[in-house]
A and B are shown apart, each in its own frame.
Chain A
């Protein structure tokens, strides 16, 4: 009669569960796993370390001429975010489904009373929280150092908060793409490789393509802006500059064109682009995942 005490214990604690219960359970597990994982620590350290370097160098540079308060740190941090955050989010997403499938964990998980959408959304939620923690930690260390050295201004404070938020927005899109890759790929290593390839593509190849378009095809400004709006990295960059500088003229004619043509709608366009990148790949991933036979 071994089951008797077991049942007693379990019954006592049984409660009807809310609809998000499974999602949050998967999310919490994924988050915990991520926080313990090496990539999280590594990326956080890299992010915070490079951010610190940038803050320190900018502060020292402008201090030499008595210049300060221009949010110079921000420019360097934008660059850093553009490099690190997509890589981090893409690889995190790529590592969400495929390796589990490979090691048989996924079929065990899906044999439980949980739907595939719940697993996917839970993982997305957990990983996005992990990414948010990583981003905030990195930027928070920068802010802390700026505060401690007295080099920070309210411009920097505002910029850092904006950067944190927008970097998270970028991370959501990249995570979504990474998870789609992970659902489609059969092996973890393939997923990670594809993610790194996509990272290279988005960080370098797409911009090189734009350069080629401008230099060789004399792309028009409207076309350039459209291409920029379609690229989540460019959107992050433009939105950061827009929010922090209240203008896009640093980006030359295209920036001016954008700011003049859409004085009010620009932020919404940025938001729409980032949101689309966060939602569409995830929905595609969910549809593929939930309709697939096998795991």
Chain B
């Protein structure tokens, strides 16, 4: 690094914040770093030292703006007004900053980092108290990597998107941690790769609109309203993601609407309201799609299909302990979907068949035809009665009286005998001690009660025994 630039940078960092008059937030002041960018040549690296740099930073030159390594990171503070950073030049790099306090105007789309040019690299930043996080508009081949993106503490509808791409093909979104945002949404963006991100407590973990040839892999989507939702997108690959406990009003782990030519494999979908939701996907029936080797477990509903859905192929999935394995909303069956591929079906936790020839495939087909599920599919309000004994009673009646047994929604001719899907590493048992405490408490109560019941007997007995002969003597 050029030493003179370094000194200037230092001066900029130390002097300017003090020297500049306190900027009223309404004014949307210019960042003190602007002068350093103005002074730099394209391709330069500007190292920024620790300190707070208030105002809006516009980067209109292809520079690398890099935080100096150290314990304190420089803060780009928009002071609650407007945007924090706007990138107008191609191939800008913004790395290692804390970017905070954008405005809160949804109409103004106040954003942490606005990208308006191709090839930007946004990396290792922490965005906090921002309305929108990173917003790419017609910016091709950008990289958004290893950022931590937070949000404003507003009502979810008044928050902005953590990441938004608009006609930004070839973007790489990788290794980011996204918390509490509204959505991370891809509009009309082709060939995007979304990899190894963590999205928590957002509305939509990732949301694709008209975005084709997108790969989403290795992400963890947890406790969002919806995990990943695809609309009008073609050629998507979703693999190796962990999609866990997304339980908003619709609560889909993965939702597909009018989406085509997709491959969904090796994901874990657990604890969602609906593990996977399919609405008119694939769009073209002949576009065979593959849903393979996913573990879909402990969701309220494993997979939910709209009645018209056809053309899916499910193979090697593990369907385990979902309150309802497969649901078809309204009336209809899934006869136009395949539940096996080349003689390999899926593993069903509630399969009651056997495998006499030990080829790993059950000898009888798996059929889903429970009466209560059928009723719930027709009338979702009946879900109120879940876990009530009446549920089992109705299932029992359904089994006992074939006449009222509903038509099977589908059948898997080659059900697997063992789970083949992706497996979760068992979570750390941090609470192992608590269960002992619970056991002790629960067993302690009855001991105390029984003790109380017999207390006077235990106390009184020896006294009585002592007194007996004495009193006998007194009577005599």
| A–B: direct contact at CB < 8 Å | yes
Q: Is the interface of B mostly helix, strand, loop or mixed?
A: helix
Determine the residue in chain A with the shortest Cβ distance to B320: A65
* Contact assessment for B381 and A221 in the assembled complex, using a CB-CB cutoff below 8 Å: yes
In the assembled complex, the Cα of A251 lies from the Cα of B321 at a distance in Å of 17
In the assembled complex, the Cα of A290 lies from the Cα of B278 at a distance in Å of 64
Determine the residue in chain A with the shortest Cβ distance to B425: A66
Tell me the chain B residues, 89-116 only, with Cβ under 8 Å from chain A.
Answer: none
Question: What is the 8 Å Cβ interface bit string for chain B, positions 175-211, against chain A (1 contact, 0 not)?
Answer: 0000000000000000000000000000000000000
Q: Which of B383, B393, B432 contacts A253 (CB under 8 A)? A: B383
Q: A194 to chain B: which residues have CB within 8 Å?
A: none
* Most A C-beta atoms less than 10 A away, residue of B446, B457, B475: B446
CB of B346 to closest CB in A, whole Å: 13
In the assembled complex, the Cα of A42 lies from the Cα of B251 at a distance in Å of 42
B273 interface contact, C-beta 8 A: yes
In the complex with contacts A140-B446, A252-B384, A253-B383, A31-B432 CB distance below 8 A: no
Determine the residue in chain A with the shortest Cβ distance to B454: A32
* Contact assessment for B321 and A62 in the assembled complex, using a CB-CB cutoff below 8 Å: yes
* Contact assessment for B249 and A152 in the assembled complex, using a CB-CB cutoff below 8 Å: no
B421 interface contact, C-beta 8 A: yes
* Contact assessment for B426 and A68 in the assembled complex, using a CB-CB cutoff below 8 Å: yes
* Contact assessment for B300 and A67 in the assembled complex, using a CB-CB cutoff below 8 Å: no
CB of B326 to closest CB in A, whole Å: 17
Question: What is the 8 Å Cβ interface bit string for chain A, positions 1-44, against chain B (1 contact, 0 not)?
Answer: 01001000100000000000000000010011001000000000
Q: B449 to chain A: which residues have CB within 8 Å?
A: 31, 129-130, 132-133
Question: What is the 8 Å Cβ interface bit string for chain B, positions 366-390, against chain A (1 contact, 0 not)?
Answer: 0000000001101111111111111
A160 interface contact, C-beta 8 A: yes
* Contact assessment for B426 and A66 in the assembled complex, using a CB-CB cutoff below 8 Å: yes
Q: Which of A9, A228, A234 contacts B471 (CB under 8 A)? A: A9
Q: Please count the residue pairs between chain A and chain B whose beta carbons lie under 8 angstroms apart in the complex.
A: 218
CB of B247 to closest CB in A, whole Å: 6
B24 interface contact, C-beta 8 A: no
* Contact assessment for A62 and B384 in the assembled complex, using a CB-CB cutoff below 8 Å: no
In the assembled complex, the Cα of A69 lies from the Cα of B431 at a distance in Å of 10
CB of B182 to closest CB in A, whole Å: 19
Tell me the chain B residues, 397-452 only, with Cβ under 8 Å from chain A.
Answer: 419, 421, 423-427, 429-432, 434-439, 441-446, 449-450, 452
Tell me the chain B residues, 252-298 only, with Cβ under 8 Å from chain A.
Answer: 270-271, 273, 295, 297-298
* Contact assessment for A144 and B439 in the assembled complex, using a CB-CB cutoff below 8 Å: yes
B342 interface contact, C-beta 8 A: no
Q: Which of A150, A160, A161, A241 contacts B432 (CB under 8 A)? A: A150
Q: Which of B323, B430, B474 contacts A250 (CB under 8 A)? A: B323
Q: A79 to chain B: which residues have CB within 8 Å?
A: 387-389, 392
Determine the residue in chain A with the shortest Cβ distance to B467: A9
Q: B443 to chain A: which residues have CB within 8 Å?
A: 136-137, 140-141, 143-144
Determine the residue in chain B with the shortest Cβ distance to A162: B438
* Contact assessment for A65 and B386 in the assembled complex, using a CB-CB cutoff below 8 Å: no
In the complex with contacts A144-B439, A250-B323, A208-B434 CB distance below 8 A: no
In the complex with contacts A31-B449, A32-B453, A68-B427, A83-B389 CB distance below 8 A: yes
CB of B79 to closest CB in A, whole Å: 34
A249 interface contact, C-beta 8 A: yes
Determine the residue in chain A with the shortest Cβ distance to B439: A143
Q: A133 to chain B: which residues have CB within 8 Å?
A: 445-446, 449-450
In the complex with contacts A5-B471, A140-B443, A157-B386 CB distance below 8 A: no
* Contact assessment for B384 and A160 in the assembled complex, using a CB-CB cutoff below 8 Å: no
CB of B355 to closest CB in A, whole Å: 16
* Contact assessment for B452 and A28 in the assembled complex, using a CB-CB cutoff below 8 Å: yes
Q: B378 to chain A: which residues have CB within 8 Å?
A: 215
CB of A214 to closest CB in B, whole Å: 5
Q: B423 to chain A: which residues have CB within 8 Å?
A: 65-66
B456 interface contact, C-beta 8 A: yes
* Contact assessment for B320 and A64 in the assembled complex, using a CB-CB cutoff below 8 Å: yes
Determine the residue in chain A with the shortest Cβ distance to B438: A157
Determine the residue in chain A with the shortest Cβ distance to B271: A70
* Contact assessment for B297 and A67 in the assembled complex, using a CB-CB cutoff below 8 Å: yes
Q: B427 to chain A: which residues have CB within 8 Å?
A: 68-69, 153
In the complex with contacts A5-B471, A69-B427, A254-B384, A160-B389 CB distance below 8 A: no
In the complex with contacts A153-B429, A157-B434, A161-B438, A204-B381 CB distance below 8 A: no
Q: Which 7 pairs across A and B sit closest by C-beta, in order of nearness?
A: A154-B431, A252-B383, A140-B442, A152-B435, A143-B439, A207-B390, A133-B446
Other A-B pairs beyond A35-B453, A65-B295, A140-B441, 5, CB < 8 Å: A62-B298, A152-B431, A153-B430, A154-B431, A250-B273
Give me 17 A-to-B residue pairs in the complex whose CB atoms sit less than 8 angstroms apart, sorted by A's number: A32-B453, A62-B320, A64-B320, A65-B297, A65-B424, A67-B424, A133-B450, A136-B446, A143-B439, A150-B432, A152-B432, A203-B390, A207-B385, A241-B387, A249-B251, A250-B273, A250-B300
